Every structure is written in structure tokens, then in C-alpha cells.
Structure 1
Amino acid sequence: ARSELMQDVGIQIAETLGEMKGAVMKVGQIASQYKDVFPPEVATALEKLQKDAPAMPYVQIRAQVERELKAPIHELFTEFEEMPFAAASIGQVHRAMLPSGQRVVVKVQYPDVDKNCDSDLKQVRMALKIAGVLNMSKQLQEQLFHEIRQSLHDELDYIKEAHNLRVFGAFHAEDTGLIIPKVISSHSSKRVLTLTEESGESMTVAATWDNDIKQKIAARLFHFTAGQLFGLYRMHCDPHPGNFAFRTDGSVVAYDFGGIRSYSDSEVQLFRRFAKHALKGDVTALEQDLVALDIRRKDDKIVPGEFYGRWLEIGLKPLSIKPYQDGAFDFAHSQTHHEAIAQMRTSLKYFGQFQPSASTMMLDRTISGQYWNLVNLGVTIDLSPLVHEYM
């Protein structure tokens, strides 16, 4: 009965928010990625908001481009496709050509989305509060919504995204097989972002290629995430398959650098310590790390070592860590997500001892997103040498 009630609540929330376009759609989208925070039925309903928003009429898009770049569109571009090839909750993307003949893509933000952002966010919070679905302390709610608000504001600021693209482009410059579009500064502003067109195939197409190509892609996706976290202390936190494209030489193109999370030196050291203890199977040290990360509540209740042991087995198997997995792991037939769900059901009695943590929320979302990317790619690979490289 509770599940049915939650389903209704979720559908109602999604319907209310769906009418609001823009910021709220984005909030629904972000919220659906924090599945540990919302009951699954509500998360599922919020996920429906992630479906492509209907395109905005070209007249409005043209007006926005001309207002932002302070020139008629035909002077700025020799070609500008009126139909977007991608729509997002806060804007849409059009193919175009510069007077120089260079092919580009132009990301245009919907007018006034930024104005409604904060009031929309308050309404979302209110809707969720009334529905009684925020299963967390007031302090944690504050942190969660601060995090959502921050990532929303970052994504609304294309100047910030342009800066991110330059920083990440420089960081990954040594790997010619990891391609990050370049910013065309003369044709970019706070609400319009023009980038070099970098094409590639979708995940669905890449999944049909030979395993040796898929291994190169998987290794690149791994380095993309781990390299940023441990080497740059900031991370691309939206590993949605649509944010990557792939080429038959194993190259990866990465898009959408609006959602970036920065980490302090102490946070990164703590993540590394946690990972080292996990690899060693040292559950006592691991529990202390979880307390430091604000995931394990500080209390006297005992959580048995087997509980952690089972989670380590589930989490480390896909990384081909012995003794859990000897040799390459077959992501196409991975049971990891099913095992995790089954383990959650059997260990519910310990869940009161844990809580979502604001510092690891984006990290969790990124790691699970990349896991799903490898599952959808259907790769068979031994990732353990790459894991040890970062330790």
C-alpha cells in the first residue's frame, strides 16, 4: 500500500513539475539521480522528467542568440539549422557553420530559465516536503538542496561551462583519444555556447564493435573519471551515455561540462584512503572512513564485518579485484546491480546507521553512471591494473 501511495505521490509531483519547464525539469532530473534520497517510486516518476523536452520555436531561439551575441544571426553564422538536434531541460543544441567554414554546435539557453530557477527550486522542495518523501534530517536536506542549487546555477552559466571546457581540455590534452570540444569565444556568452563540432557514434552503436575497441573505450572512460578526481580534484559529474560519443579507433568524445564538482585536498585524500582500505578488505578502517565521510552515523550500534564484506565483494568484483574476481569481468552479463538490490533487502536492519552524504553524492552518481556505461557497452575487461595505477 505504501508503495502504491508513493507511486501516486511521485506521479503527482512529476505532473506538477512537468508543467513548469526549465529549472524544475532540471531539478527533477538531478533529483532522480539521487535515488538513495527518494523512495524508488518517487525517483522513477521524477525520472520521467528526463525525457527530452519539446523543442522551443526557432523564432525565440534566434532572438536569444541575437540578444546574447549582439548581432544578426546571418552575420554570425553562414548556416544555422532551425531544428535542434538535441533538446535539454534548460536549452537546446543546433548545428551551424561559422563564416570561416568551420562546423560548430550552438547551445542556446531558453529565455528566462535562470530567473525562475530559485523560486522553482523552492516549489520543488515544498512539493517533496508536503509529500513527506524526504527521508533525512533537516541539516541533510539543507546540504542536498544546496548541492542541487549549486549544480543548477553552474549549469545555467555558460561562461562557467566554457571555463570548465578549457580546464578539462588542457588536463586531458596528452591523450589524443580523449576529445573535448573547443570553445569559440567570439560566439559565446552567458546563455549561448558555441563549440567545435566533434562527432562520434552513440553507445548503442559502440556496443556492436569488437571487444578490443570496447576495451580502449572502457579504459578511457575509467581514466576520464579517476584521472579527474585524483589528478584535477574536480570532476565531470554527468556520465549520461548521451554525454559521450565514440569512434572506431577507441577514441571518446566528452560533452556537457556544466555539471562539475570540485573537491578539496582533504576530501580526495579521504576518498583515496577509503579506496585503499576497500582493496585491502580492512573493514575496521573502512568503517572509520565512512564515519569521516558522514555516511556512517556516529553511534554505538554495531554493524557486523560480514555486512561490509558482502558490499566489498559486490563493489570490487567489476573492477576485477582478487579474491572476488580473477581476470576480466564481463559487464554485458553483470549481476552487480541485482546483487546490490538483493543485498539492500537483506540488510535493511542496518540502514538506519547510514545516511546520504553531500560530499559523496555526485561521486556516487558518477561511479554508478560509469558502471552502467560499461554494462551498456557490453565490454569484457580487467580494470584492476588501472585501479592500482591510482592507488
Structure 2
Amino acid sequence: MSNDFPSSKFERGSRIAKTGLKVGTNYAKRYLRKKSGKENGDSDSSFHSENAKEVFKEFTKLRGTALKIAQGMSMDQGFLPEEFAEVMSQAQYSVPPINKALVRSIIKRELGDYPEQLFTRFDSEAFAAASIGQVHLAELKDGRKAAIKIQYPNVRETINSDLGLAKILVKRIVKKGADIDPYFDEVKQTLLEETDYTNEGQQIELFRERFGGMNIVIPEWIKEYSTDKVLCMTYLEGRHLNEFLKENPTQEQRNRFGQLLWDFFHQQIQDKNYVHADTHPGNFLFTNDDKLGVIDFGCVKQFPEEFFMNYLRLLPTHLDGDEEAIRNLYYKLKVIKPDSDNPDKEEKYFRFARNYGMTFAEPYKSEVFDFGNEDYRNKIKYFTKDAPIGNEPRGSQHFLYTTRVHLGLYNLLMKLGAHVNTSKSKEILSEMLDVDFGELV
């Protein structure tokens, strides 16, 4: 249990600035050693890893926005060296909970009384702790089990300062002159939404209305015990992916949950509405009655229609193999630059991106696709680890979240080893994009 929770802007700013200065100095010294031929022989890999661990250690103590940035760094955007992304991926799991006294005081301030007065039972130990809040099990006076999500102090108030300082840190690592402002603006807007628990409650209601009765289970928002910093919802029974896999499930069980994930993803696309944009294992439950539970709606996105439709058109365009059409889409999505002063580099990246896109399109070539295929897993792993652009961000800022959704889905399905029927999903996309997938594959 941790009491070490820096919540003032000054203390948080000091920590981030100190970390940024140290990491920036390390990179500067390394650059000078390389230029002078005095490199000490340390591998790039271990150097990047050690610096990432330094950042991660401080960001974990800070929680909140800082830890969300760490999670963002773990996604494949070409921002950072691979080793940084590898270390930062731990941000999904390694968060110490805040102490019990602080939990009680937050509930008293937000809901008007202490938890033992409000609930029949309240577990003071959190059963889940994430970047901007932690979750406690409770029993409501009417007998229903509830999950109470409590936001860490001052998270929303420190978004601007945390992001501003994080931008300074990232600028020390990315390619000089790279425009990272649109990416940070996108992260800021999403964080403002994620730290508004009333907004999340409304999203829970929206998704319950959209997906109720589709073998998808979504908690109910309990408004009377919720504020913008405390979220009360009914508790869903089920197990997360790792727990499910420990049960040694049959292929049939793996396929069922894989199909539910796949269909949930495509149904959201069809609606052209909000998309659940945080597709990682902690946000999904496999229930004992073979339904898919979705339990976190802090990060939902409604993408601009032009971007969203161009993103979807990548699929049939890659399946068709028309290089000119692929290239034109990449220009529109800012994946490649039309007037680059280094056309050879641009062509190299085009080839890489096209092959990556072809790999993502592969499941749609089959009526039933085996996500457990080891060759396919290795192919995806290759592309997510070996982008040729180093530390230069590419693509529209909206890719920050479409990547999280799409790559997250594929990773879940590969861990499940699920065989997924793609027929319905191709019908959905055919209707939306006015293409005949039968002719493409």
C-alpha cells in the first residue's frame, strides 16, 4: 500500500522535469560519444531499456496522466525506440494502490459520507488499480454487488502540466523537428474525457443500449453513488484472459470468446458511433455463461468521419493490391509524405507500411481464420517491432487510438488462439464501403 502520492503541480512537475533532464542528458552524452568515436560498447538496446526504466519508475509513482502517457508510449507509433515501448507496456499492470485513509476521505468528499455508511459492505483493499483510479468491491443497500472506481487526487488538474513536461521529455528522444503537437493534443482531449467519470457513466449507458442482448454484458451505471470523480457500477462476474487460459479451455471455448470479440469490434464500426478504444485484456471479462463482459468505458472515441472511412478503406485496398490506391490513401492518412526530400527513405517506409497493411488484411481472406497460427503471430510481431522509421512519428494523430483498438484486438485473438468466422464482418464492411469482398479475395 503506497502513501507516496505526489498530487501538487509543483511536485509532479519537479519529478517529470528531473527525469526528463536526466534522460535527455544521457542521450546527449551518448550522441557525443558516438560522434567522437568513444562509444563504450553498450548496445543500443540496453541503453534505451535503462533510460525507459528510469522514466517508468517515476511515472508509476506519479500515476494519473503521467502513467497514461507511459501506456501511450507502449503503443507502436514509431515515436520511440522499441525498448522504450517494451518497458512502458508494464504501465498496463504495475500500479500501487493509494492508502485506505485517502480512499475514505475521497468518498466522503464526493458522496457526502463515509463508505461504511453508504454501503452494506465496502472492501477497503482495491481489487484493481490503474493509471487514473482504483476499483473497490461493495454491496449496495439493495443487495447488488457494485464496483466503485475512485479517481486519484488532482489527476484532472495536472493534465496540462504533466503533458507539457512529458512533451519536453519526448522531444529529447524523438527526431529533431518532428511535429508531436497533434499527438499530444489528441492525448489531452482523451484524458479530459477519461477523467470525467460522469462522461464514462453516460458511455456505459450508451453501450448498454447499443449492445444489450448481443451476448455482450455491460455493467449498469449507478448514478446516485457517482460523481465526476467516483464511478459506481454493478459488478460483473467473470475472468480475465489470463485466468481463462489457466483453465485450459477447449478450442471451442476459445473460438466462442474470440468470435464475440471480433463481432463486437465490427458492430461498433457498423454503427459509426463511439468505439471502445482501450482494447487490452484488463477491460474484458469472459463470463461463466459464455458471454463477453466489457467493463471500462473511460477511453471511447468517435473518430472524424473522413479519417474513419479512409482508415476502413485500407482493408479492401490492400486486399485488392492496387499500389496507386494504397499510396493515395497513405498520403491522405499522413502515413507517407508526398514532397519528402528523401524519396528513398519514403519508398522504404511505403513498402513497410504496405506489407504491414497486407498482414492486417490476411484474416479477411479466409471464411474462418486461425489467429493461433504461429507464423501469423510472428509476422505481426515482426511489423510491430521493426518499423524502419526509428523515432519519427507517422500518420494522423487518430492512429494513436485506432492502433490501440485494432492491434489490441488482434493480440487478444492471438493469445486466445481463436478460429474466427469473418463472413458477417465482411458483409458489414461491404455495405459500408460499397465493395464486394468476394471479388477481392
TM-score, structure 1 normalization: 0.88
2:70 counterpart of 1:28: yes
Residues 1:315 and 2:360 aligned together:
yes
8 Å contact from structure 1 (residues 295, 354) kept in 2: no
68-77 or 368-377: bigger deviation:
68-77
2:237 is aligned, of 194, 199, 217, to 199
Matched, 1:115 2:154: no
Which residue is 1:106 aligned to?
A: 148
Which residue is equivalent to 1:52? Answer: 94
Secondary structure of the residue that 1:36 maps to in structure 2?
coil
- The aligned length equals 381
Residue number in structure 1 paired with 2:189: 150
Distance 1:308 1:142 in 2: 23
How far residue 289 of structure 1 moved from its aligned partner, in angstroms, is: 1.0
Tell me which of 290, 294, 300 is aligned to 1:250.
290
* Aligned counterpart, 1:372: 411
Match of 1:65 in 2: 107
Aligned letter for 2:69? V
SS at structure 2 position matched to 1:171: helix
Change in CA separation of 1:52 and 1:17 when aligned onto 2, cut-off 3 Å: closer
Residue in structure 1 matched with residue 28 of structure 2 by the alignment: none
SS in structure 1 at match of 2:72: helix
1:279 aligns with 2:319: yes
1:225 matched to 2:270? The reply is no
2:60 is aligned to 18
Question: CA contact under 8 A between 2:81 and 2:390: conserved in structure 1?
Answer: no
Checking the alignment, whether the CA contact within 8 Å between 1:296 and 1:353 is kept in structure 2 is no
Distance 2:327 2:302 in 1: 24
The change in CA–CA distance for 1:137 and 1:84 in structure 2 (over 3 A counts) is same
Q: Determine the structure 2 residue equivalent to 1:90.
A: 132
Separation in structure 2 between the aligned mates of residue 245 and residue 234 of structure 1, nearest angstrom: 20
Cα distance in 2 for partners of 1:43, 1:214 equals 28
Conserved? CA contact 1:23–1:116, under 8 Å: yes
Q: Does 1:128 align with 2:166?
A: no
SS in 1 for 2:74: helix
For residues 37 and 388 of structure 1, do their structure 2 counterparts lie closer, same or farther at Cα, with a shift above 3 Å needed?
farther
Question: How far apart, CA to CA, are the structure 2 residues paired with 1:314 and 1:128?
Answer: 30
Question: Which residue identity does 1:33 align to in structure 2?
Answer: M
For 2:70 and 2:103, the matched residues in 1 are separated by 24
Distance 1:281 1:189 in 2: 51
Q: Give yes or no for contact 1:171–1:232 (8 Å, CA) kept in 2.
A: no
Q: Does 1:270 align with 2:315?
A: no
Rounded Cα–Cα distance in structure 1 between residues aligned with 2:416 and 2:359: 20
1:240, 1:103 → 2: CA distance?
24
The higher-RCO structure (CA 8 Å, 6+ apart) is: 2
| Structure 2 counterpart of 1:338 | 378
Q: Is it true that 1:37 corresponds to 2:79 in the alignment?
A: yes
Q: 1: CA distance between counterparts of 2:68 and 2:394?
A: 24
Aligned to 1:163: 202
Partner SS, residue 149 of structure 2 = strand
Alpha-carbon distance, 1:209 to partner: 2.2
Which region of structure 1 is more displaced relative to structure 2, 86-95 or 268-277? 268-277
**How much has 1:173 moved relative to structure 2?**
2.3
Aligned residue number for residue 10 of structure 2: none
Q: Tell me, what secondary structure is at the counterpart of 1:45?
A: helix
Please state how far the C-alpha of 1:240 moved relative to its aligned partner: 1.0
Q: 1:275/1:239 Cα in 2 relative to 1: closer, same or farther (>3 Å)?
A: same
CA RMSD of aligned residues (A): 2.7
Distance 1:114 1:353 in 2: 29
Cα displacement (A) at 1:115 = 2.3
Q: Match of 1:291, SS? A: helix
Shift of 1:136: 7.0
Residue 344 (structure 1) shift: 7.8
- Relative distance call for 1:244 and 1:50 in structure 2 (3 A) is closer
| Residue number among 330, 335, 349 corresponding to 1:295 in the alignment | 335
Q: Indicate the residue corresponding to 1:188 in structure 2.
A: 226
How far, CA to CA, are the matches of 2:229 and 2:259 in structure 1?
A: 34
Gaps of 5+ in 2: 1-42, 431-441
Q: Which residue of the partner structure matches residue 118 of structure 2?
A: 76
Structure-1 separation of matches of 2:357 and 2:154: 46
Provide closer, same or farther for how the CA distance between residues 386 and 211 of structure 1 changes in structure 2, counting only shifts above 3 A.
farther
Contact 1:104/1:194 (<8 A) preserved: yes
3-state SS of 1:89 partner: coil
Letter in 2 for 1:311: Y
Deviation track 1:195-246 (CA, whole Å, cap 9, x = no partner) reads: 0111112213433322233222222211222222331332111111111001
- Distance in 1 between the 2:188 and 2:356 partners? 31
Q: CA 1:262–1:343 in structure 2 vs 1: closer, same or farther (change >3 Å)?
A: closer
| Contact map agreement 1:81 1:96 (CA 8 A) in 2 | yes
Q: What residue identity is the alignment partner of 1:254?
A: V
Deviations 1:159-195 (A, max 9, x none): 11111111111111241x1011110001100110000
Structure 1: gaps spanning 5 or more residues: none
Percent of residue pairs identical: 24
Structure 1 pair 79–210 and aligned structure 2 pair: CA distance change class (3 A):
same
Give the deviation of 1:343 after TM superposition. Answer: 5.9
The answer to which of 277-286 and 90-99 deviates more is 277-286
Contact 1:297 1:354 in 2 (8 A): no
AA aligned to 1:4 is S
Structure-2 separation of matches of 1:104 and 1:159: 17
How far residue 354 of structure 1 moved from its aligned partner, in angstroms, is 8.4
Q: What is the alpha-carbon distance in structure 2 between the residues aligned to residue 276 and residue 346 of structure 1?
A: 25
Matched AA of 1:331: F
* Post-superposition offset of 1:327: 5.2
